[in-house]
Structure 1
Amino acid sequence: MLILLPPSEGKTPALRGPAVDWTALGFPELNPYRAKVLEALGTVSAHQDALALLGVGASLRDDVERNTRLHAEPAAPAHSIYSGVLYDALGYRSLTPVQRRKADESVLVISALWGALRFGDSVPAYRLSMGTSLPDVGRLAPFWKEQLGDTLSAAAQGHLLVDCRSSTYAAAWAPPAQQTVTVNVFTESGGVRKVVSHFAKHTRGELARHLLVRRGKAPGAPSDLLKAAREKWEAELVPGTARKPHALNIILPG
């Protein structure tokens, strides 16, 4: 089983420690492309109109300024850099050592800057969205889609993929449909079902945690994932096709 997560927009910078060690990152074949994005990000972030170019507000000025010195910034494991609703619900710090090892092996984060990261890969905090366009790189989702295919398809062999990404980050890699289950979250009241956003992030984080802490074998097929989800939620599985992934729909009370 591999759990695909988006990064969080908000990140918690490491206060001390060494800078990123590129040779220690997972998927080292991506390093030339990571370096290209990082260089373009540093150039844009030093521009007088950097906030507008990156599509962020004035409150994030310090984050954007940090982008200009990422080679030297302290790095920390991805699970501690990424913060926010989904990652709070996953709660890496409260996992047992065995569960943490399982998370480090099972969780992949699709990143606008790094392409793809293992949960234990150490990186600095940065500010960059997959929807951004950078000079000499272009829009990041198409850029990474061209680079990630072979790498992640090889990593995915033999695994059920539990896709908890948002649509922006899902655009960067289309995993093999037959072995992938996308996770949707709805509320239902009076027979009326509605898509939720904020609670979807929280519930996806809870699902990731549940899959990491539950006893027994990790789900190896979509039907196994449905059984695991039903241990905590009302859920249904929508079968996929040769080109469309399966869908796990988690239904919350309205």
Structure 2
Amino acid sequence: MPAPAGRRAASPRRTGREGRYGARVLVLLPPSETKAHGGDGPPLNLDGLSFPELTDVRRTLIRAVAALAEDVPASLDALGLSPRQSAEAARNAVLTTAGTLPALARYTGVVYDALDLASLSAADRDRATSRLAVSSALFGLVGGGDLIPGYRLSAGSRLPGLASLRSLWRPVAGPVLAAQDGLIVDLRSGAYATLADAPGAVAVRVLSEDESGARSVVSHANKHLKGRLARALVQIEPEPTGVDEVVEAATRLGLIAERRGSGAVDLISRVGAPVGAG
């Protein structure tokens, strides 16, 4: 299960080369708009996060959203929130003092329900912290075990006085991903994929197949199946090094997966079948 709120999750392994994961595979997850509340881990320590090359932009954005939080109407407008969601905007006012949780416990929603970290073995949970990273509008990328506070910021948010998040993140986060030594599996949503290029990554899309065999891109099963694939990639040993191993991992978990071209995978959701069962 995820590390308790006051206990640090296992930290991602490092190669000794700044900002790189030691694992041969890096699975990129989307974040969630909703996030778990609370956490009695220590306050945010930017120097303790994975991918330290991103620290300067992280610091800039934290200062910006914290300052913006002092003006509630402006904060709601910039974040695309309604007055009923003012408590969400208020979380940005205490980013540097609030309690933290490991990233994989902080993010919630369909992807993370399907990942179902709590039901994994201890060994699988350890692999999750070293293989999974989450794309974030505020932090750029965070490792699965990185301790972060609750916050509200989306990829499409515009902060007064700053360039777009895409303009801020691409020059620094893109090179971080380009420098990764091994396989990258990209499960990010479109908005977050624009924040950083992932050269050579295995692109994953979800298709619906009807009774006639016709297929179309769908959204209703997208998050669930990507969460299940993330689970499969945490469980498989040895670590996958190519597209065929990604397909194998998915198949072992009962998903229908097909290689597409030289560097992509399709997950198939069949009409009438339980979501996640193919």
For normalisation by structure 2, the TM-score amounts to 0.83
Q: Residue 57 of structure 2 contacts residue 168 of structure 2 at CA under 8 Å; is this kept in 1?
A: no
Select which of 231, 238, 241 maps to 1:220: 241
What code does the residue aligned with 2:199 have? P
**Partner of 1:101 in structure 2?**
126
**Partner of 2:14 in structure 1?**
none
Q: Are positions 1:249 and 2:266 aligned together?
A: yes
Q: Which residues of 2 match residues 113-152 of structure 1 at below 5 A?
A: 113-152=138-177
- Following TM superposition, where does structure 1 have runs of at least 4 consecutive aligned residues deviating by more than 4 angstroms? none
Q: Residue 207 of structure 1 contacts residue 229 of structure 1 at CA under 8 Å; is this kept in 2?
A: yes
**Partner of 2:206 in structure 1?**
185
For normalisation by structure 1, the TM-score amounts to 0.91
Q: Are positions 1:27 and 2:27 aligned together?
A: no
Q: Residue 25 of structure 1 contacts residue 122 of structure 1 at CA under 8 Å; is this kept in 2?
A: yes
**What is the CA–CA distance in structure 2 between the aligned matches of 1:144 and 1:20, rounded to whole Å?**
20
Q: Residue 185 of structure 2 contacts residue 204 of structure 2 at CA under 8 Å; is this kept in 1?
A: yes
Number of equivalenced pairs: 244
**Partner of 1:196 in structure 2?**
218
Question: Aligned to 2:221, what secondary structure does the other structure show?
Answer: helix
Deviation at 1:124, TM superposition (A): 0.2
Question: Aligned to 1:237, what secondary structure does the other structure show?
Answer: strand
What code does the residue aligned with 1:76 have? L
Deviation at 1:60, TM superposition (A): 2.0
| Larger mean Cα displacement after TM superposition, 167-176 or 57-66 | 57-66
Deviation at 1:43, TM superposition (A): 2.2
**What is the CA–CA distance in structure 1 between the aligned matches of 2:223 and 2:98, rounded to whole Å?**
28
User: What are the ranges of 5 or more consecutive residues in structure 1 without an aligned counterpart?
Assistant: 241-245
User: What are the ranges of 5 or more consecutive residues in structure 2 without an aligned counterpart?
Assistant: 1-24, 272-278
Deviation at 1:41, TM superposition (A): 1.1
Q: Are positions 1:161 and 2:178 aligned together?
A: no
Deviation at 1:27, TM superposition (A): 1.7
Deviation at 1:227, TM superposition (A): 2.5
**Partner of 1:205 in structure 2?**
227
Q: Are positions 1:75 and 2:100 aligned together?
A: yes
What code does the residue aligned with 2:213 have? G
**What is the CA–CA distance in structure 2 between the aligned matches of 1:15 and 1:110, rounded to whole Å?**
20
Deviation at 1:164, TM superposition (A): 0.4
Deviation at 1:25, TM superposition (A): 1.0
Deviation at 1:57, TM superposition (A): 2.3
What code does the residue aligned with 2:194 have? A
**What is the CA–CA distance in structure 2 between the aligned matches of 1:86 and 1:151, rounded to whole Å?**
24
Root mean square deviation, CA, Å: 1.5
Q: Residue 235 of structure 1 contacts residue 251 of structure 1 at CA under 8 Å; is this kept in 2?
A: yes
Deviation at 1:125, TM superposition (A): 0.5
Q: Residue 142 of structure 1 contacts residue 171 of structure 1 at CA under 8 Å; is this kept in 2?
A: no
Cα 1:224/1:25, change in 2 over 3 Å? same
Deviations, residues 77-112 of structure 1 (Å, cap 9, x unaligned) = 101110000011101122222111111111111110
> Percent identity between the aligned chains?
36
Structure (1 or 2) with the greater helix fraction:
1
Q: Residue 7 of structure 1 contacts residue 109 of structure 1 at CA under 8 Å; is this kept in 2?
A: yes
Question: Aligned to 2:265, what secondary structure does the other structure show?
Answer: strand
**What is the CA–CA distance in structure 1 between the aligned matches of 2:108 and 2:164, rounded to whole Å?**
24
**What is the CA–CA distance in structure 2 between the aligned matches of 1:99 and 1:17, rounded to whole Å?**
22
